[in-house]
Amino acid sequence: MRKYLNARLKSFRYAGAGLMFLLKSEPHARIHLLATTLVIITAIAFDVTRQDWLWLTLAITLVWAFEAMNTAIEHLCDLVSPEQSESVKRAKDVAAGAVLIAAIAAVIIGIGVFSPYICALI
């Protein structure tokens, strides 16, 4: 049992190292961190409902997950094919496009969640 728990703990350390690498190496990840922080602060300030928190959490999670996968794909492509390749370029572009789709969806969700709170102030 102890061996199993140690292995799981190692897995969390690897995941944490991956997230730290993501934040240190990717400027877009730092932009996502700023956006995440602003959304959380705004949600707290507006005292959003539990359901609104769920939507915001989903949006934030999707953007972060896609950004992490994009970074992993980019690094793997660079390792497998360090020379210029149209296929590698397309793979990287599609992965970046997935992040863009998630970010646009997050903005739409954010507008949907925060609009009633903002309108109530006006």
Residue-by-residue DSSP string for 24-58: HH-HHHHHHHHHHHHHHHHHHHHT--HHHHHHHHH
What is this structure's pTM? 0.90
pLDDT of 3 reads 85
Domains of the chain, each with CATH number or no CATH: 26-121 (1.10.287.3610)
Look up 86 and say whether it is catalytic: no
User: Please, what is the average pLDDT of the chain?
Assistant: 96
Would you say 74 and 92 are in contact if contact means Cβ atoms under 8 Å apart? yes
pLDDT of 2 reads 83
| Reported confidence tier of residue 7, pLDDT bands at 50, 70, 90 | confident
Angle, helices 2-25/27-46, rounded to nearest 10 degrees: 100
pLDDT of 63 reads 98
**Side chain identity at residue 6, one-letter code:** N
Tell me which of 26, 67, 74, 86 is the catalytic residue: 67
pLDDT of 72 reads 97
Q: Which residues contact 63 (CB under 8 A, 6 or more apart)?
A: 32, 35, 99, 102, 103, 106
